[in-house]
Chain A
Amino acid sequence: MFCSFSAAGGQAHKRRRTSEPIEIEDRLESLICRVGEKSTSSLESNLEGLAGVLEADLPNYKNKILRILCAVARLLPEKLTVYTTLVGLLNARNYNFGGEFVEAMIRQLKETLKNNLYNEAVYLVRFLSDLVNCHVIAAPSMVAMFENFVSVTQEEDVPQVRSDWFVYVVLSCLPWVGKELYEKKDVEMDRLLSQVEGYLKRRVKIHVPMLQVWTAEKPHPQEEYLDCLWAQIQKLKKDRWQERHILRPYIAFDSVLCEALQHNLPPFTPPGHMPDAQYPMPRVVFRMFDYTDAPEGPVMPGSHSVERFVIEENLHCIIKTHWKERKTCLLGSLGHGKHFKLVENIHLSFFSQVIFGELFQLPSPPHMDVMYTTLLIELCKLQPGSLPQVLAQATEMLYMRLDTMNTSCVDRLINWFAHHLSNFQFRWSWDDWADCLTVDLEKPKPKFVKEVLEKCMRLSYHQRIIDIVPPTFSALIPADPTFTYKYIDESTSSLPGYPAAINVGNAIKNRASNEEILTILKEVPNPNQEDDDDEGESFNPLKIDVFLQTLLHLAAKSFSHSFSALGKFHEILKTLTESDEGKLHILKVIYEVWRNHPQMIAVLVDKMVRTQIVDCAAVANWLFSQDMAHEFTRLFIWEILHSTIRKMNKHVQKIQKELEEAKDKLEKQQHKRRDSGDDEEMEKNSEDEDGQLEEQIERLQEKVESAQSEQKNLFLVIFQRFIMLLTEHLVRCETGSVDISTPWYKNCIERLQQIFLMHHATIQQYMGTLENLLFTAELDHHILAVYQQFCALQL
């Protein structure tokens, strides 16, 4: 891949004569991005060679090289020390370039902070701090920057997440540069750390319960992330900043680098707090295994060792960079890319813990759930002798702790496990979990197994599930997903809707027109009324029942058949569901006929929302209705609710985008007119065009407002229902002097949490209304606590 670097200067000169500038820029990019990857030469000699090539290209390509280096600092944090070493070598050869690079980095840091890219800003500051180790930046000026960061903790009336971030940045750089800074400025650093300690002591941590994967402290405490990092830094300090795991190529170049002149960082004042700033949310550190759990192999670093932090950071960075390509992701993580591995053998338990940690992260994983499933499957292919056992052990541990696992995390575990099993012939030692058969089926363990089997069935078929579990598990096997038809045969002929059902069925089979079918339906008596209303316009539940049951029965064969039926008879369905009661009843009927097939219910509800037969609020009201109370803790209910909320959100976003595009178009048009100075006739045409656009913008504005109003109403309905249900339960328990913590209660309160966590960005727009109308001080403190924890995520 590389040409030999021994004639680097000559080669570069030759290239310039024969290649296009664009090609050279691409080649520079490629050289820089790929340094450190598989090569026959050592990393040191590759860095040396590359530094020579870049130095020679500085006269013509300085700005491009600056841009590329700034970009890799921001985008390839897992190769941090490789690039700081490179910059160190360049600085030693060209002092001015070193200065320009530092200035460019500071500019980039300001930009990333302005654009709320806080995670990338961390990488930039870490890069700068490691440049101290490479003799590019003078230690005292780095300490001064850290002092400015920590002084943010003195600011008043700012969100805690703001000062959290500045403290986090400083602490997270210390594994790289703590030793050097303490050697040069120990008094200042001690003062800094003592300020941090004071801040951490007075920090408010209401948010922690909402972000913990498990509510129990044993066997592994779920530590708040800053507390954990502080403990790790404390231990590192006690060990006199001896850190052995970070790869430091600059050590090999010490004799060259220590001859270089250093630059001072310009004084950096942290940008002030802006109201629209979006600081990163706090986190809780995920701990599943510790060094006592790992089978034979390299010992896993203890939870408060800084190696733990450094390695986990590195793995998170690798996943972040390579999530789109699972093979590359694994090769990087397992250290097959020889130069950017950190540890000789990342233990598989450790790596799988990092993956599970991301999967279970609250509020949400950094990437899609399915990415992690596929990554683990790929890992099983690469390590077939060892990973399957690790995963089995992990699953077993997770199963044992289900009682205290957050419901949102249990959902993800269910989906992961079922999907994973489907790739391995559903092989599992179910008998190991026989304990779940001895308790109430609503308890977490049997519930988990039941939901897993349901998901497994969706990926296969009913008989398969019967075949894979022992007969003792029959109570947990999902129902055979068959249609339940009320008007099935003559035995049901006494039902009031039966004659009409027969007629409607025949009419549909004979391709009757909508009018003919509506005429048949007019004959259906209305159980809500004394006399038959000839208009038949008022809500008639039996009419809906007869039509929909019969239609769906005829279309029961597959999803496509049912969708086709809904499409064909869209007009009739819209007529029947004009009222809110109608909408609610149609959902009721769908549940009645397909109660054994929750997957079908979900796709039909989705279709009906998309074709506007029912609206989102109707779905919410139906899910919370008394009729569905017995299904309230089942996973499919929540999947339908969240899917409905997502559709609502996407709808609002879509219209907002249309509005923005129209506004942009108008602005562009007006600019063009102003700039080109048209003649009178053209001006009149342009004004007409403007008028049309303005009308369109007004219409879209109304559409946006109406959509947002519907969205706000949806959340109000959902929260109101939660409050009603929870308050009822709490009052009942109080009067009966019964413990409130039933499995139902734990599920319900965590489902309320889940609404906040999964849709926090949208809900934040409506905080004012929520606080004034619903989450007032009169509310039971158990319910109010959830709201307060949510607020604490951005305070």
Chain B
Amino acid sequence: MSAKLNALNSDSYIDVSQYRDQHFKGNRYEQEKLLKQSHTLYVGNLSFYTTEEQVHELFSKSGDIKRIIIGLDKIKKTACGFCFVEYYTRADAEHAMRFINGTRLDDRIIRTDWDAGFKEGRQYGRGKSGGQVRDEYRQDYDPARGGYGKLAQQHRSTEARNSF
């Protein structure tokens, strides 16, 4: 009786994105398999000042959280604007992708994406300056993410020195 209609099963908000972790130990196929079964979400575009408590409050709305790992600057060991949220069930993580992705935390629109699973070391930014890669090269001024991008900061200080 229960004919499942593929055409009606659209659930685009839980689709896997194009991003693949370059440091993942394994091939593309293995990574995709893990992403499709994962209970862990990567959360990006956080303010540097967003706390674990705030993340917990927001992401609890889609289910019970197993743990949160705040992303850290590799050198300074301070929050650098991303985190991982791991749920006890896949279903709860899917609800977060549907209802929390694309909404605001600390006035910023945050982005969630499937993660293959936390491993020690993945809590650190991979940018040269210690933070996230995206903060190395961006040109805009974002007070919640350390101001200007790292490269832009260097240029500014060089300019300032030269103009003096």
User: Residues of A with Cβ closer than 8 Å to B?
Assistant: 26, 29-30, 33-34, 67-68, 70-72, 75-76, 107-108, 111-112, 321, 324-326, 328, 368-371, 373-374, 377, 415, 419, 422-423, 425, 455, 458-461, 558-560, 563, 599-600, 603, 606, 643
Contacts and interface: CB of A to CB of B under 8 A. Distances in A.
Contacts of B67: 560, 563
A24 to B, nearest CB: 14
B105 A459 contact: yes
Contacts of B103: 374, 377, 423
Interface stretch (B10-18, B112-120, B138-146, B152-160): B10-18
Contacts of B62: 368, 370
Residue with the highest number of chain A CB atoms closer than 10 Å, among B1, B64, B69, B106 = B1
A728 to B, nearest CB: 34
B2 to A, nearest CB: 8
Given A324-B98, A423-B104, A559-B56, A68 B3 contact: yes
B73 to A, nearest CB: 16
Given A423-B104, A458-B53, A459-B105, A76 B8 contact: yes
A558 B53 contact: yes
A324 B56 contact: no
Contacts of A26: 6
A775 to B, nearest CB: 31
A371 B98 contact: yes
Interface footprint category on B: 35 or more
- Interface SS of chain A: helix
B54 A460 contact: yes
A33 B8 contact: yes
Contacts of B3: 67-68, 70-71
A111 B52 CA distance: 48
16 contacts: A67-B3, A70-B3, A71-B3, A108-B1, A324-B13, A325-B10, A373-B61, A374-B98, A425-B107, A459-B54, A460-B106, A461-B51, A560-B52, A599-B57, A600-B53, A603-B56
B133 interface: no
Nearest to A34: B7
Contact of B5 (A29, A419, A599): A29
B24 interface: no
A458 B51 contact: no
Given A33-B5, A370-B61, A370-B100, A328 B52 contact: no
Contacts of B98: 324-326, 371, 374
Contacts of B137: none
A371 B3 CA distance: 27
A346 B10 CA distance: 25
Nearest to B12: A325
Interface string B91-127: 0000100111001111100000000000000000000
B151 interface: no
A590 to B, nearest CB: 16
Contacts of A599: 53, 56-57
B48 to A, nearest CB: 13
A558 B51 contact: yes
8 closest A-B pairs by CB: A33-B7, A370-B61, A458-B57, A71-B3, A111-B1, A374-B99, A67-B3, A423-B104
A461 B64 CA distance: 22
A461 B54 CA distance: 8
A30 B9 CA distance: 12
A408 to B, nearest CB: 17
B75 interface: no
Contacts of B105: 422, 459
Contact of B11 (A112, A324, A423): A324
Contacts of A459: 54, 57-58, 105
Contacts of B51: 461, 558
Contacts of A326: 13, 98-99
Contacts of B34: none
Nearest to A120: B2
A15 to B, nearest CB: 17
A30 B7 contact: yes
A419 B1 contact: no
B99 A373 contact: yes
Interface string B2-43: 111111101111100000000000000000000000000000
Given A70-B1, A373-B61, A559-B56, 6 more contacts: A33-B5, A75-B8, A324-B10, A324-B14, A326-B99, A599-B56
A75 B12 contact: no
A459 B61 CA distance: 12
B114 to A, nearest CB: 16
A371 B103 CA distance: 12
A326 to B, nearest CB: 8
Contacts of B1: 70, 107-108, 111-112
Contacts of A324: 10-11, 13-14, 98
Given A371-B99, A559-B68, A29 B61 contact: no
A606 B4 CA distance: 38
Contact of B61 (A70, A71, A419, A606): A419
A359 B85 CA distance: 26
Interface in B54-82: 54, 56-58, 61-62, 64, 67-70
A520 B114 CA distance: 47
A548 B26 CA distance: 43
Contacts of B2: 71
Contact of A422 (B64, B68, B104): B104
B9 to A, nearest CB: 9
Nearest to B49: A461
A26 B3 CA distance: 13
Contacts of A68: 3, 5
A559 B100 contact: no
A368 B99 contact: yes
Contacts of B107: 425
A112 B1 CA distance: 9
Contacts of A111: 1
Contacts of B6: 26, 29
Q: Which of B69, B99, B104, B107: most chain A Cβ within 10 A?
A: B99
A33 B14 CA distance: 21
B5 A72 contact: yes
A134 B95 CA distance: 40
A482 to B, nearest CB: 13
Nearest to B62: A370
A290 to B, nearest CB: 30
Given A71-B3, A370-B62, A599-B57, A559 B52 contact: yes
Contacts of A328: 10
Nearest to A458: B57
B68 A560 contact: yes
Contacts of B95: 368, 370-371
A355 B146 CA distance: 40
B13 A325 contact: yes
A423 B104 CA distance: 5
Contacts of A377: 103
A560 B79 CA distance: 14
Given A373-B99, A425-B107, A563-B67, A71 B53 contact: no
